[in-house]
């Protein structure tokens, strides 16, 4: 989704470097055009370009802008096509502005502005905000009053960076629905859509809350509420280092993030398992065992990859806590009038904690009296603030648009939560929990082993990158991995891929099978093994090639497969944490073969902050 940056320093500084670096660090959010605007003695200078930031940089190369104050933007088109005239910043009279979000009532506001003889240069909803602020500012010459009166008229979600032509000593930031962070060092101040642009620039940062307005000056950031009352804002020390943002020797962030999974598992389990390894530690959960026994049903709500982790959560909770679980994609859940009450536990799963549909589902659940637990990777996220309790996944920064390490941390957190619930509900004993936790702590080592198969997988990629269709199948806990494998492949390679419960093969997808189809079968040895083996036979008999992911030493499966990827022998519930790695690697390798943009696939955004 769109990204915002802005900076102001001493008069003898140039903020261009921060703005361009910041925009690059927001590239992962997904964008189609970009732009910047600086202020020089009462004149706005604006440069915009369609495409990657390097197109903007090429233009800047010939213009050489210098200023101590400026704003920048990466746009992900919602209203109006991808074009230079629709790219931000937008200027109206005395106001230059960048915006992340959607203005729902923009059509009626635009009509009213046209009646007042305001004319528009773009098709965006953003430009009306610039006009509304300018209209009020022209009358009052009071920037804060103009911003306050404008945001009261806007319906939707928006964060804004706003400069006024007559003021080169400060600019403004507004947060309403979509995230915005302010940062400072001793003589410069910054804004950005997340903390990454601030790294190496700001020492301290604070996330703005909804309806807060910040006045950004070189040596001071003042935060107001929507009524104009000055607020105390607590700043935190910025801990992220520049090494955390780099690719650490890998070619792509996604590649690095896949290889970080063993460490992510260590971090996820570290503080959540007792030293005696017979207890899941969730002491901070504000629910007693009796409270947990009160829940008659659980809803797990998420989108995309997080939804696949939620599907595993259903298996785990039903198995260990014996409570019925429904898993829903958030965009369906929020509009289907789900049956919610205070005896329903709602679990939201999200890496970013900013996914609009998942947030809306959480609000709905909370309004109906349901207790809401978030499983989320971002401490400063809206989801953390709005949920009754958050279990933080320890995945660290995930920059690649394709979710990888966030999935394994979400899935393992779901397993821990299900064991904790099972203990409270007395459906599982400490003695039964112990071997599961003991096995879990070995997973990071087994992940290392699986990562060694990168080479096999990259050979597979060169054999199959020209094939037309990939069909991923699995049963039980392996079914969500089939869905995840198909999602990863289509997302970053743009190939047609489908994920199916293996038992559904005969109900339709088998019609796709010919010698252009590749079957990816997740088929380790468990009680459903023979059934999946039969499905593989059916595909082979019709000319499809088979890549299988199975148990180490399974000669039978190996003999039936064109490519066999062996997995270490682990208990069934833990298998998905390993099986997901080869499907991630497969997508990565095929994408590299095809020369695709691995970390920033077309049309996708890292964080889907609008519906």
136 binding ligand M6R? (CB under 6 A): no
355 binding ligand M6R? (CB under 6 A): yes
Chain residue at closest Cβ approach to ligand M6R: 304
375 with 413: CB under 8 angstroms?
yes
String marking each residue 403-432 x if it binds ligand M6R according to CB under 6 A: x-----------------------------
Per CB under 6 A, contacts with ligand M6R among 590-609 are 604, 607-608
Q: What burial class does residue 77 get, using C-beta atoms within 10 Å of its C-beta: 0-12 exposed, 13-18 middle, 19+ buried? A: middle
Catalytic site includes residue 2 = yes
Instruction: Tell me the closest approach of the beta carbon of residue 393 to ligand M6R, in angstroms.
Output: 10
Instruction: Tell me the closest approach of the beta carbon of residue 564 to ligand M6R, in angstroms.
Output: 26
Instruction: Tell me the closest approach of the beta carbon of residue 64 to ligand M6R, in angstroms.
Output: 37
Q: Which is nearer to ligand M6R, 383 or 421 (CB)?
A: 383
Question: Among residues 67, 74, 358, 390, which is the contact residue for ligand M6R, using CB under 6 A?
Answer: 358
Distance CA 393, CA 416 (A): 11
Phi, psi (5° rounding) for residue 302?
-170, 180
351 binding ligand M6R? (CB under 6 A): yes
Of the chain, the end-to-end C-alpha distance in Å amounts to 11
Question: Among residues 33, 67, 124, 350, which is the contact residue for ligand M6R, using CB under 6 A?
Answer: 350
Question: Among residues 305, 370, 387, 548, which is the contact residue for ligand M6R, using CB under 6 A?
Answer: 305
306 binding ligand M6R? (CB under 6 A): yes
Which region, judged by CB under 6 A, interacts with ligand M6R, from 45-53, 149-157, 396-404, 587-595?
Answer: 396-404
What's the farthest any 2 CA atoms get from each other in the chain? 80
Q: Which of 310, 299, 307, 302 is nearest to 340 (CA)?
A: 299
Residue in 2, 176, 303, 376 annotated catalytic: 2
94 binding ligand M6R? (CB under 6 A): no
- The token duo for 15 is 């903020």
- How many CB atoms neighbour CB 276 within 10 A? 9
402 binding ligand M6R? (CB under 6 A): yes
- Cα 43 to chain centroid distance, Å, stands at 37
Catalytic site includes residue 606 = yes
304 binding ligand M6R? (CB under 6 A): yes
CB contact set of 16 (below 8 Å; sequence gap of 6+) = 36, 38, 60, 65, 66, 67, 70
- How many CB atoms neighbour CB 328 within 10 A? 18
Q: Which is nearer to ligand M6R, 226 or 604 (CB)?
A: 604
485 binding ligand M6R? (CB under 6 A): no
Kindly state the number of chain residues that form the binding site for ligand M6R, as judged by CB under 6 A: 17
Strands 344-350 and 371-376: parallel
129 with 37: CB under 8 angstroms?
no
585 binding ligand M6R? (CB under 6 A): no
What DSSP assignment string belongs to 417-454?
Answer: HHHHHHHHTTSS-HHHHHHHHHHHHHHHHHHHHHHTTH
497 binding ligand M6R? (CB under 6 A): no
Task: Look up residue 280 and give its DSSP letter.
Answer: B
Which region, judged by CB under 6 A, interacts with ligand M6R, from 107-115, 400-408, 503-511, 529-537?
Answer: 400-408
Residues involved in catalysis = 2, 606
Interface residues with ligand M6R (CB under 6 A) are 303-306, 350-352, 355, 358, 401-403, 487, 491, 604, 607-608
């Amino acid at each position: 989704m769109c990204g915002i940056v802005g900076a102001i320093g001493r008069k003898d500084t140039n903020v261009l470097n921060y703005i361009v670096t910041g925009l690059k660090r927001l590239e992962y959010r997904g964008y189609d055009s970009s732009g910047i605007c600086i202020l020089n003695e009462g004149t706005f200078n604006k440069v915009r370009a369609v495409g990657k930031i390097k197109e903007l940089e090429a233009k800047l190369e010939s213009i050489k802008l210098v200023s101590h104050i400026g704003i920048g933007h990466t746009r992900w088109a919602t209203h109006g096509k991808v074009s230079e005239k629709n790219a931000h910043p937008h200027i109206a009279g005395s106001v230059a502005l960048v915006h992340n979000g959607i203005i729902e009532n923009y059509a009626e506001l635009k009509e009213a502005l046209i009646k007042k003889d305001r004319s528009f240069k773009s098709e965006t909803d953003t430009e009306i905000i610039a006009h509304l602020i300018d209209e009020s500012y022209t009358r009052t010459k009071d920037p804060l009053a103009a911003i306050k009166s404008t945001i009261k008229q806007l319906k939707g979600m928006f964060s804004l960076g706003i400069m006024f032509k007559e003021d080169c000593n400060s600019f403004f930031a507004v947060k309403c629905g979509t995230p915005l962070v302010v940062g400072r060092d001793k003589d410069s101040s910054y804004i950005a859509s997340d903390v990454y642009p601030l790294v190496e620039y700001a020492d301290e940062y604070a996330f703005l809350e909804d309806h807060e307005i910040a006045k950004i000056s070189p040596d001071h950031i003042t935060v107001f509420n929507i009524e104009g009352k000055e607020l105390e804002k607590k700043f935190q020390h910025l801990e992220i280092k520049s090494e955390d943002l780099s690719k650490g020797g890998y070619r792509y962030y996604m590649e690095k993030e896949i290889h970080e999974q063993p460490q992510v598992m260590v971090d996820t389990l570290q503080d959540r398992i007792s030293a005696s390894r017979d207890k899941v530690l969730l002491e901070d959960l504000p629910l007693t065992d009796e409270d947990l026994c009160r829940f008659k049903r659980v809803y797990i709500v998420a989108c995309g990859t997080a939804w696949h982790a939620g599907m595993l959560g259903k298996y785990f909770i039903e198995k260990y806590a014996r409570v019925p679980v429904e898993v829903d994609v958030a965009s369906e859940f929020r509009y289907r009038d789900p049956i919610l009450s205070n005896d329903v536990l709602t679990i939201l799963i999200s890496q970013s904690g900013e996914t609009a549909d998942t947030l809306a589902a959480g609000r709905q659940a909370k309004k109906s009296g349901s207790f809401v637990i978030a499983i989320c990777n971002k401490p400063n996220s809206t989801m953390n603030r709005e949920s009754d309790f958050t279990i933080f996944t320890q995945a660290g920064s995930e920059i690649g648009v394709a979710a990888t390490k966030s999935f394994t941390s979400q899935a393992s957190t779901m397993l821990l939560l299900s064991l904790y619930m099972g203990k409270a509900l007395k459906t599982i004993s400490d003695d039964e929990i112990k071997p599961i936790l003991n096995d879990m702590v070995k997973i990071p080592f087994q992940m290392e082993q699986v990562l060694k198969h990168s080479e096999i997988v990259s050979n597979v990629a060169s054999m199959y990158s020209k094939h037309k269709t990939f069909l991923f199948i699995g049963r039980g806990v392996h079914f969500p991995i089939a869905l995840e494998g198909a999602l990863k492949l289509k997302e970053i390679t743009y190939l047609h891929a489908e994920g199916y419960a293996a038992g559904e093969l005969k109900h339709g997808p088998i019609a796709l099978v010919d010698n252009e189809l590749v079957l990816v079968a997740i088929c380790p040895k468990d009680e459903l093994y023979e059934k999946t083996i039969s499905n593989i036979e059916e595909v082979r008999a019709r000319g499809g090639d088979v890549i299988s992911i199975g148990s180490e030493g399974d000669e039978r499966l190996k003999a039936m497969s064109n490519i066999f990827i062996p997995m270490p022998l682990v208990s069934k519930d833990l298998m998905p944490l390993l099986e997901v790695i080869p499907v991630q690697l497969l997508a990565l390798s095929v994408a590299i073969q095809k020369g695709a943009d691995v970390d920033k696939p077309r049309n996708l955004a890292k964080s889907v902050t609008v519906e």
